[in-house]
Chain A
Amino acid sequence: MTSFLPPAQKNWWAVPVGRQEIIWIAIALVWCLIMFFMMPLWHVYGNQNIANEAYKVTPAKYQAKVNEMIEKYKVREETAMKIPVVAPPDGADVYLLARLWQWYPMLELKKDVTYRLHLNSIDWNHGFSLQPVNINIQVVPGYEMVLNITPNKAGEYTIVCNEYCGIMHHSMLGKIWVKE
């Protein structure tokens, strides 16, 4: 009955620790260190890392960049709402804007080509959740994040919003097409 009584020894810290615990602590510590070093190792050898690149930006400025890109690279419009579809050149800066309740514009990318994808919200927090590949990035208003993305499979992809953003949150979708 000692878990809720004072320790049996006044100098409990001097009582030697059993072998079993020492071995377990050693094993657990090694595992903890392996898990820790996996992360920097993946930064060196892995292909899925979030770059450290972000800028403070105002909604107006970001909107202007998006509009400029659409003007240059628009290829068609989709749905009754006439949402522009943009096909940027290889390696280009691509600006994707999140707002209540839309991802704007739609993108047409090429497989195995790397783009600089800029993400920003002009109102509330949103969640960039690319399906079905399942890449999830937080989109915070006021911060323009830059990711170098390389699609590895052709097909139609949907951007779901997975950060709650008000009453029509569940209707917020966007599209990316990846061509061979």
Chain B
Amino acid sequence: MAQFRQCPDTGLFFHKEAENLMKANAVAGVVCLLIAGILALLVVLTRWPAVHLLPADTFYMVLTAHGVCALIFWVIFFEIAILYFAGSTLLRSRLATPRWAWAGFVLMIVGAVMTMAAIFAGKSSVMMTSYVPMRAEPHFYLGLVIFAVGALIGCFVYLGTLVVAKNEKTYEGSVPLVTFGATVACIIAIFTIASGAEILIPTYLWSIGYISHIDPAMYRLIWWALGHSSQQINVSAHVAVWYLIAGVIFGARPMSEKVSRAAYLLYIFFLQLASAHHLLTDPGLSVEWKLFNTSYAMYLAVLASMIHGLTVPGAIEVAQRKKGLTNGAFEWLRKAPWDNPVFSSMFISLVGFGFLGGISGVVMGTEQISIIIHNTIYVPGHFHATVVIGTTMAWMGLTYLLIPVLFRRKMIMPQAAKLQPYVFALGMSLVAIFHMAAGTLGVARRHWDMGFAGNPLGFEYPATAYLLMGIAGVGGVIAVVGGAMFIVIAVGSLVFGEKLQKEAGLLQSFGFPLADSAYTDEKPARLPMAPSEAVEAHHDESSFEAPGTFILAMVLLVSFVIYYFINWKYLSEVWGLS
């Protein structure tokens, strides 16, 4: 018999087994974030030319570990927690096959530990991408495969939960938009993991000698179907988190269910083509292949993100205007709860993802412009804007939301929590912007010494490049401080936060079940459809319902157009190539 508890503050229903799994996965994710953050500090302090902390071999090892731990383990553990939340809690359904979900969790832990152990043993400093024929130790690959199998089980548990919810009629009508978005993330995750298996299993067999040769170009092609698509899981999931937080904080409804869901559908159809972004200067691929794939078939996935970029803040604006904040174009935004870290994290995530991550990503993914950006430090600049400001900050906002709701603890240090998103965003924006700037001056990524000290051939980047890398270094340290504040507040709340429910003890914060007294055997009432009066008010033919958002969207577009053509101008000045 499935047991549930209802959160007295939010009315959300938590299935006992699902709740424990969400906690365990979220906590495992935060532990990975902690490790990734410590490693990030070491990377930052080495690439900051004036500090240049680590020796070369340690730097390459630490950089490999940072990439794997942050880009794979932190985001995917947290994503599994989000899937269980979107499938079980939001649909008021029991989680399908909790034992399988625990098995998946254990596999993910085992895989993560195995790969990290391989890296820290020092003989697997191959970077996250592990391009063959560079060779890591076999358990580097095996760990990733085991982790992926665990994540795949999590995906199928989620899909199973959708089936259970449908069969047991736990909700009326269609699934909520947030659950729809999580489902898109899940589908992309399955594609991603399948691609990963397709390349990492043979590579594992190669590393232990069963396969003699893996084609390096083919490896890059299939590996990036894992590497880039995994970031598209993040996009789908963090857009779902934006919608969720907009709904929780503002009571916002999607401007149009049809538009938002159609945009998600475009993600499923087209996002995975982005493997090509990494292969634009590779030999052996035709121009036609590159053009079609790098543009997600005429930028249809970019279109989808631009749609969400309008409809998420638009939904907030409509909700705020309904509450009477109708002065001017931006009163709704000015009077938003900027001191609530749930909202500020989410909104910075949205703006940073669009302006910094989105624009730079499309520009560098343009077939020819890639020539002046490929493998420079512009690339890490770009993806720290997407994955850190975008995804990680969305996860942080969700964590602040879940501490009282899921963990039943009051957040400690509320003043520091108000500040945390701004500190982190400031630091990470400096990292993103100044790495991108240094990249345009040609500074290489994954490179220990931009000074080439002692090299008989000698080469010096312009002095400006050193300045830019120095500013990025300062930004990196600020970001690490912001990240540490998050960890202290989040973990501190789980340990020391005031109990909002007497059963929420220390072990309960880390995945142990609450005492039976917290739950009832009673099945939650069926999840009703949204009240319909919420939808009628709009579609006044003459005026826009969210004019402020439209202005913001046009600002984005104009920045986008200008920056896009500036890069063509840069490209036109380099040597002729044909």
Contact present for A80 and B246 (CB under 8 Å)? no
What is the 8 Å Cβ interface bit string for chain A, positions 83-127, against chain B (1 contact, 0 not)?
A: 000000000000000000000000000000010000100011101
> Using Cβ atoms and an 8 Å threshold, which residues of chain B touch A7?
173-174, 176-177, 257, 529-530
Known: A15-B258, A35-B564, A48-B368. A20 touches B576 (CB 8 A): no
Name A173's contact: one of B217, B248, B457 (CB within 8 Å).
B457
Q: How far is the CA of A27 from the CA of B291 in the complex (A)?
A: 22
Q: Is the CB of A54 within 8 A of B251?
A: no
Q: Roughly how many angstroms separate A84 CA and B461 CA in the complex, as a whole number?
A: 25
Q: How far is the CA of A115 from the CA of B177 in the complex (A)?
A: 56
Contact partner of A21 (CB less than 8 A), chosen from B216, B251, B259, is B259
Select A24's contact among B217, B307, B444, B456, beta carbons within 8 Å: B307
B512 interface residue (CB < 8 Å to A): no
- Interface residue? A49 (CB, 8 A): yes
C-alpha gap A3/B253 in the complex (Å): 5
What is the count of residue pairs linking A and B with beta-carbon distances less than 8 angstroms?
333
Contact A143 to B284, CB < 8 A, known contacts A3-B252, A6-B171, A32-B298: yes
Asked if B310 is at the interface of the complex by the 8 Å CB criterion, the answer is: yes
Q: Do A79 and B574 have beta carbons less than 8 Å apart?
A: no
A28/B303 in contact, CB under 8 A: yes
Query: Is B315 an interface residue, CB under 8 A from the partner?
Result: yes
* Complex contacts, B534 vs chain A, CB 8 Å: 2, 8
Contact A47 B174 (CB under 8 A): no
A19 to B575, CA, bound (A): 47
When each residue 1-41 of chain A gets 1 if its CB lies under 8 Å from chain B and 0 otherwise, what string results?
A: 11111111110110111111100110111011101101110
A171 (CB) vs chain B CBs: closest residue:
B455
In the bound complex, do residue B538 and residue A4 qualify as a contact, i.e. CB atoms below 8 Å apart? Answer: no
Cβ of B74 within 8 Å of any chain A Cβ, yes or no, is no
Q: Is the CB of A6 within 8 A of B299?
A: no
- CB pair B252–A136 under 8 Å, yes or no, is no
> Is A67 an interface position by the 8 A CB rule?
no
CB of A30, distance to nearest CB on chain B (Å): 10
Partner of B176, one of A6, A20, A35, A130: A6
Chain A positions within 8 Å of B375 at CB level: 127, 129, 136, 138, 162-163
- Give the contacts of A35-89 with B (CB-CB under 8 A): 35-36, 38-40, 42-43, 46-52, 54, 79-81
The answer on a CB contact under 8 Å between B577 and A162 is no
**A residues near B446, Cβ cutoff 8 Å:** 162-164, 169
Instruction: Please tell me if B131 contacts chain A, counting CB pairs below 8 Å.
Output: yes
Question: Which of A137, A145, A152, A168 is the one whose CB lies under 8 Å from B374?
Answer: A137
Q: List 13 A-B pairs, Cβ < 8 Å.
A: A2-B177, A6-B174, A6-B176, A18-B544, A20-B546, A28-B303, A42-B368, A50-B577, A132-B441, A147-B578, A161-B444, A167-B56, A173-B459
Given contacts A8-B530, A163-B446, 19 further A-B contacts (CB under 8 A): A3-B244, A3-B246, A3-B252, A6-B528, A7-B530, A12-B174, A13-B258, A21-B259, A21-B314, A24-B306, A46-B571, A124-B131, A125-B216, A134-B440, A140-B216, A143-B217, A164-B447, A166-B134, A170-B448
The 4 closest A-B pairs by CB, nearest first: A3-B247, A150-B576, A2-B530, A32-B299
